[in-house]
Structure formats: C-alpha cells, structure tokens
Amino acid sequence: MIKVFYSATEKSGELYLSVHSKLAEMSKSQKIELIHFPGFNYIEVQNHFPKAIKYAIEESDVVITLMDEFGRTNQWVNQEVGYAVAHDKEVVILAEDRSQIKGFVNQYTQNIFTGDKKGMPQEIQEWLDEFMRKNEELVYQKIIFDKIMDFHKMVDHEKYKTKHIQYSNEAIHAIDDLEDSIKNIYRDVTNTQFITYFILKETETRLDKIIKENCTTNLRNFCVQLRGDIINAIQARDRKIIELGSK
C-alpha cells in the first residue's frame, strides 16, 4: 500500500475538501494510506510538529500538493513541497493554471493537473491507480534486480573458465546470450526503473537453455533459482494486472 502525504491549506475551500474526500475514500478502501492532511492529529508529538511533518514526508511514496492561489502563498505548503522535492519524492501538483507553477516543481510536468476543478479528484484517483500498478511491478521485479549484479560477476567468471573447461559451443553461446539479457535488464532499470515483460521472458528462455547445457553445477543451480524468481515475478505481475483490471 502506498503512503500519501496531502499538502494543502483549508483556505482552498471546496477544492481542498473534494480532493481530501477522494483521498479519504481511497484510504478507507485500503487502496492508499493517507498519512498526512491539513488538520491531521499530531497531538502525541506536542511541540515537535515540524519534525512530525518531515518524518511523514520522508515516509511517504507520493506527495500531493494543492497549489492554487492559497496554496502558493502558504509557507507550510511551499516548505512541505520543497522538502519532498529535496528527498526525491513523487510530487503531484494541483493548480488552476500551469503557468502559475514556478521553480523546482516544474520538473514534474507529467504530474501537474490544471483546469477543471471538479474533475481533479477523479484525475488524482486515476493517477494513483496507475502509480500503484507500477509500484507493484517494481516490488516484484526488485526480487530479480537485487541478484543481477552478483549474477553478472558469476557469468563473467564462467566465461573466463570456458578457456580452461571444455564446454560445448552451445553452452558458450548460451552464456553470451544470458549476459546480453543481464545487460538489457540493467539498461531497462537504469532508464525506466522497469524490466520490460519481453526482457523477462527472453531471460527466462535463455536461463532454461543454460540449465540444459554442459555448464558448471554452480552456474546451473543459480540459473534454476533465478529462473524460478523470474517466473514468480511474471505470474505476480499478471495476477496484479488482472486484479486491477477487475476493479
């Protein structure tokens, strides 16, 4: 479940309330966890309110900020957004006009919603649904990526050993192909944070090929384990897509 920090001022009136209502509805249905909103009860922290705000932002996955005429001039809203940007949080901006968005937050061009105030709560829900889908994929794919760098070293080691061990040409080609897959996985994650479905399936096939070839037991066992992780990630991804599609 993703954690959402809602930065706004109650002076924004109806728009503040409509967005808050939508986020509270999503929180009640356990689609998100709303960890902060204007008026949030921080009684237990007493005089440590700023620390509580900082901690909540650090804990959040998404910071949604209402930067209408009231939000843009509110020091708390501006400082909360600045803190979120400094901590590389996913920031979503709600505003009346894109031209009114200045400074660092301009970098979030895909996350700026302007125009129809009545439609903003629904747009936010759709954005969060898509963000959650991607976030779920990342969780599953992290299982794979965490092993890639060590596995890359192992593949290099096996290639070196081919100079001393009589492998079949098919086994050598299989190791080379797998190394290409690993490079593609690293490229995918570096450029987009996602391992594409095609690369996952391709890597699964290449791992299967190595398992069947004349390789060392060490490499074969690792391939079996990684292939199992990839299959689990693909199945989990498919289940989540089906689940989200049925809602």
Q: Per residue of the chain (247 residues), what is the pLDDT tens digit?
A: 789 999 999 898 998 999 999 999 999 888 888 988 776 655 555 567 788 889 899 999 899 999 888 998 999 999 999 999 899 888 998 887 777 777 777 766 667 777 677 888 888 898 888 888 777 666 666 666 666 666 666 666 666 665 555 556 676 677 777 777 777 776 766 666 666 777 777 777 777 777 777 666 777 777 787 778 777 767 766 666 555 444 4
Residue 187: per-residue pLDDT:
72
Beta bridge partner(s), residue 95: 114
Residue 7: per-residue pLDDT:
92
Residue 8: per-residue pLDDT:
92
Residue 127: per-residue pLDDT:
87
Burial class (CB in 10 A: 0-12, 13-18, 19+), 55: middle
Residue 228: per-residue pLDDT:
80
What spatial distance separates the first Cα and last Cα of the chain, rounded to whole Å? 16
Residue 230: per-residue pLDDT:
74
Residue 235 has which token pair? 């199945």
Residue 62: per-residue pLDDT:
92
Residue 206 has which token pair? 């290449």
Asked whether the beta carbons of 188 and 144 are under 8 A apart, the reply is: no
Residue 5: per-residue pLDDT:
94
Q: Whose structure tokens read 């479940």?
A: 1
